[in-house]
Amino acid sequence: MDQQTLIIIIVGALSLGGVAFALLGPSENEKASKRAASLGASGSTKKAGGQAADPAKDRRKQVADSLKKLEEQRKELSVKKKVTLPELIAQAGFEFTERDFYMLSAIVALVMVGVGFLTGQEPWVVGAMGIVGGLGMPRWYLNSARKKRQKKFAEEFSNAIDVIVRGVKSGLPVNECLKIIARDAQSPVKEEFHLLTEGIRLGFSLEQSLERMYNRMPINEVNFFSIVLIIQKQTGGNLADALGNLSNVLRSRKMMLGKIAALSMEAKASAAILATMPFFVTGLVQLSAPDYLVPLYTTPNGQFMLIGGGLWMMIGVFVMKGMINIKV
């Protein structure tokens, strides 16, 4: 076989192969279908990836909505009218009724009026003593007891949260942890958690029970605690970690308040000295020269000066109190 015949055979074989590929190979429609299928597969993969990320987005959105709703509820409570007398009595931790409070106020007013008559005071002084005894002193005592109780609750509350964290980590349900606090915690945390568990036992939802607890103890610590529990119930998550972080935040907050109190102690001491100085000087003058201050009590000008000086002194005390009381 010569070279020319070999070339002819090779060319013919290639030509037959091309014709066979053109007749038997995939058509353009089939190629387009394959490309569309491949694109659809890649698109479905991306869509599946997007769907996998959707639950996280949904949970974040749900948490944000829950926080917004709770914030609006707290704002409605904060802009509510001033605390009523029954609420003030409950927040102070007393169990007497509004009627009992008014009876005690009347008794204190009568005692103050009797003291004024026995000491020979002027009628307007006796009336002022009765007003202070009937309206001022009982309210002041209630507010003082309320603040003292809230402070004691805030100091013990972080330990109660630690009890819940340890109980949840050991496998106990949240309601059992709340019952442990209601049984073994220090007062007033013990009483508040007892009322919380009793409300849940009587059929109130967790949100309603926590709202009632916040009405009895309207402090930021209880607000944070209720937000954590409500959001965990609505969106899920690790309750032990969330409450553990809250406990650390509350302890850091308490530490910061202690530092602020220590730094403002000098200003408080100066304010106390300035407030007591007029009474101290008046007592010394009264002991050394009793007749020197008589015109200040008996003449109209002297009485007017006493009233004006007392008012200015009260204004100064309130201004200094507002300057040194730092809220966080």
* Residues 226, 210 contacting (CB under 8 angstroms): yes
The pTM for the full model equals: 0.66
Q: What is the greatest pairwise CA distance in the chain? A: 155
- Other CB atoms within 10 Å distance of the CB of residue 125: 13
What does DSSP assign to residue 217?
A: S
Q: Which residues contact 235 (CB under 8 A, 6 or more apart)?
A: 59, 62, 63, 66
Helix (H) or strand (E) holding 143: helix 137-169
CA atoms within 13 A on the CB side of 176: 9
**Token pair of 134, please?**
């009937």
pLDDT tens per residue across all 328 residues of the chain: 555 565 556 545 555 555 444 445 554 445 445 544 554 444 444 444 444 446 666 656 665 666 666 666 666 655 555 788 888 999 998 988 899 999 999 999 999 999 888 888 888 888 888 998 888 899 999 999 999 999 999 989 999 999 999 998 988 888 899 999 999 899 899 999 999 999 998 888 888 898 899 989 999 889 889 888 888 887 777 888 888 998 898 888 888 888 888 888 887 888 888 888 888 988 898 888 888 888 888 888 888 888 888 898 888 888 887 877 766 5
Side chain identity at residue 38, one-letter code: S
- Other CB atoms within 10 Å distance of the CB of residue 243: 23
Compute the distance between CA of residue 24 and CA of residue 104 in angstroms, rounded to an integer: 109
